Structure 1
Amino acid sequence: MAHIDLGLDEKTHPGINGPMLYRPETAKPLNELAEVLLRTPHPTLTPGERELIAAYVSGLNECAFCCSSHSAFAAAQLPTGMELVDQVRRDVSTAPVSDKLRALLRIAAAVQRSGREVTADLVGAARAEGATDLEIHDTVLIAAAFCMYNRYVDGLGTWAPQDPEMYARSAEQIVAHGYHAS
């Protein structure tokens, strides 16, 4: 049960969904931010790669709902699906991703620990693998935003379903309609 009375059934509105319904005036900008960061056209990072960054950071933060959700959202948009998501979450250094994405994920992990842990060396390593300033910027912002989303969900003690199929159904909705429809 959530730490506060959200005025709804948590089983039908798990994770961030309950707090979003509780405060629709704050839900609107939070959903807009997620839409821009994860779904709008990007010159180089695919929606699946951006969702993978969100899932990776959420896993590092041990936020069960966000990690499960964004893992499913990433898997639905990546060629090798959940297998790749699981490999990245298990060990980014050996996961079959491009060296550029690996460098960006390392930046995301640094942001998760503290923004001050993003060093010139990490940024230089990402640039050496071909990362652009836009990709570095967006990686930092996705990681920082997901630290906030994770803390929002876990700070209110919301319920996270265990059934992976529930997250797969949510992924279908997000892929088809985006975060504005959430």
Structure 2
Amino acid sequence: MAFISLNSDEPGIRGLFLYRPETAGPLNELVEVLLVGDSTLSRGERELIAAYVSSLNECRFCHSTHAAIAAAHLDEGMPLVEQACFNPAAAPVSGKLRALMDLAGAVQRSGNAVTERHVTAARHAGATDREIHDTVLIAAAFCMFNRYVDGLATYAPADPTVYTERAQQAAGYIAGLAELQGQN
């Protein structure tokens, strides 16, 4: 049960967005730009970074949600997502994505944990300044989202099919918010 009285039974951040729609809009705009907007990283790669940071933060709702979306956008599906989230050094991902995930992991620990070594490794693996920027912002944003969701003890379904089914429908975050608000 959430620490505050929410006005819906929606799980995780979805319930929080319905509780405070005026904050939901800007947060969804940010995540839309970072995970869906134009990028040289694929949607699956960006969702994987979000899922990875959420797994490090032990946020079941956000990890499960973004892992399912990443799996829907990556040819290798959930087996790759699980391996990358729990053992990124051994995951069959590109050197660039591995370096960006290492960078995201440093951001998750602390902004001050990011060193020139992380940035140099990402650049040597082929990451652009924009990809480095966006990775840091994805990681930082998901630390905030994870703390928002878990800090208010929102409900996170244990059944993975809930997340898989929703991931199949997820076109974008702004459209999803409008649909959610229209249902309630």
TM over 0.5: same fold?
Answer: yes
Instruction: State the shift of 1:28 in Å.
Output: 0.3
Equivalent in 33, 38, 53 of residue 36 of structure 1:
33
Gaps of at least 5 residues in structure 2 are 178-184
- Asked if 1:15 corresponds to 2:12, the answer is yes
Match of 2:57 in 1: 61
Instruction: State the shift of 1:169 in Å.
Output: 1.4
Taking the aligned partners of 1:151 and 1:115, their CA distance within structure 2 comes to 16
Moved over 3 A (4+): none
Amino acid at match of 1:2: A
RMSD of the TM alignment (CA)?
0.7
Q: Deviations over 1:37-66 (max 9, x none)?
A: 000121x20000000000000000000000
Amino acid at match of 2:81: V
Number of residue-to-residue matches in the alignment: 176
In the alignment, is the contact (CA less than 8 A) between 2:60 and 2:156 conserved in 1? Answer: yes
Equivalent in 81, 85, 88 of residue 89 of structure 1:
85
TM-score by length of 2: 0.94
TM-score by length of 1: 0.95
Amino acid at match of 2:25: K
Equivalent in 168, 179, 182 of residue 173 of structure 2:
179
Match of 1:2 in 2: 2
Aligned-pair identity in percent equals 65
Gaps of at least 5 residues in structure 1 are none
